[in-house]
Amino acid sequence: MSGCFSPSVKGEKDTYSIFLIPKNIIQETNSSIKDSISIIAPDDSMSPIIQENSTVALDTSTKDIKNGKIYLVSYGGVFMVRALYSLPKNEIKLKNYKSDDYPEFIVSASELLIVGKVYYVAGKIE
């Protein structure tokens, strides 16, 4: 069985789009299909891995940080997709792949909401 999601942008479901995830991806990533959601990448900050408007699947049951892995997070009310790194003093570094346009920064773990870990990306090649 594959996963099937309706992507959402700004909390509104796209009832015309269906996002299928192959069964082997769910198994290989040890992701929870019942805890998975999909979003549309809001920008190109994680390019070339995640392009703007790519469909991104994440597991909301996975919130423990594995350094260098990509997560959907909320900081100061802003949702963003970033690679996370645990640091001393209960701090977390939020890193992206286009540092010239989107500088990385460090926040207190108590100020960051981790929505879930990204495990699959689908998008068109331009």
Tell me the percentage of the chain whose pLDDT exceeds 90: 56
Specify the CATH class of 3-122 in words: mainly beta
Band of residue 120 on the pLDDT scale cut at 50, 70, 90: very high
Band of residue 123 on the pLDDT scale cut at 50, 70, 90: confident
88's tokens: 């001393």
Higher pLDDT pick, 11 / 92: 92
Tell me the percentage of the chain whose pLDDT exceeds 70: 84
Lowest mean pLDDT among 63-67, 73-77, 121-125: 121-125
Burial letters for 60-78: b for 16+ Cβ neighbours within 10 Å, e otherwise?
A: eebeebeeeebbbbeeeee
Band of residue 20 on the pLDDT scale cut at 50, 70, 90: confident
Order of strands across the sheet with 91-95?
Answer: 12-13, 8-9, 36-40, 55-59, 112-122, 70-75, 78-87, 91-95, 105-108
Length of the chain: 126
User: Tokens 């970033």 — which residue?
Assistant: 82
Residue ranges per structural domain of the chain: 3-122
User: Tokens 């269906």 — which residue?
Assistant: 18
Higher pLDDT pick, 99 / 56: 56
CA-CA distance, 47 to 56, in Å (whole number)? 13
Summary mean pLDDT of the chain: 85
